[in-house]
Amino acid sequence: MVDAARGWLGTRRVGHLGTLDPAATGVLPLAVRGATKLINFVQESDKTYAGSFRLGVETDTLDAEGRILRTYDGPAPDEDRIREVLANFEGEIQQVPPMYSAVKVGGVPLHKLARKGLEVEREPKCVTVQRFEMRKYAPPLLEIEVECTGGTYVRVLASDVGAQLGCGAHLADLRRTRSGPFRIEQALTPEQLARDAERGEIDRRLLSPLVVLGLPALHLTAHEVAQAERGLQLDAQGPPVPPGTRMVAHDGGGRIVGIVELRPGRRLKPLRILPRET
């Protein structure tokens, strides 16, 4: 999708704000041109997923594309037991990244090691699940919705839920419906974007960082813009805000200058300055 967007927009400066597994669908935010420098300010945003777990079957990839490792022939768990287990995963939890993932160990992506039949030790990662709900249960399929922090593997949730239920499970399908401020209702298909590009209208689909980042806006004078672009700290004007507050600085003419942070002594420190577009 990044390669396609580079063609549509005529620039190499395109980056994504969090990958999707090949079999997954849904929201995939892209940062374009100077906004690629702002990815670190939004990429760890919370996500919302809708999907389904297939109970009773475990696979090596933890999803439907993998090789079946084990099957379970016992009775299906009831809804009360499922709700109880899902509640166990709400809050701060530890997740071990799956072998079939892009996480690197010794500079090598885990999925490359997994395809060679290797399994290596992985460090668990702390993630937070704000909400984990059952939407529908028609054994063996369990439809779920989960709100979680960035970096959470729903495939791992499926496997761990199956383990606690005692029947095993894998992720049957997954759709990301929200990534930070980006929602599925705003999303466009590649076909729609390709048509916009052919008509020369694709730039109208771009969202301003003022909308995306959800930070207070700060208007800079021409002199302050020049100072910020040189990396110099600025005197804070306007109503007081707590130290540590980050703001999106702009020049009043629609151009985003960058991100600044209020430091003690009412000083504004530039954290990330965007290049002027040519």
Dist. CA 17–CA 30, nearest whole Å: 6
Cα-Cα-Cα-Cα dihedral of 93, 94, 99, 101, to 10°? 60
Dist. CA 191–CA 164, nearest whole Å: 42
Q: Can you tell me whether residue 229 is helix, strand or coil?
A: helix
Burial of 212 (0-12, 13-18, 19+ CB in 10 A): buried
Dist. CA 237–CA 220, nearest whole Å: 10
Q: What are the beta bridge partners of residue 26?
A: 176
| Beta strands 246-250; 217-219: pairing state | parallel
Catalytic residue among 3, 21, 196, 235: 21
Dist. CA 102–CA 111, nearest whole Å: 6
Dist. CA 199–CA 214, nearest whole Å: 31
169 residue type, one letter:
A
196 assigned to active site: no
- State the catalytic residues: 21
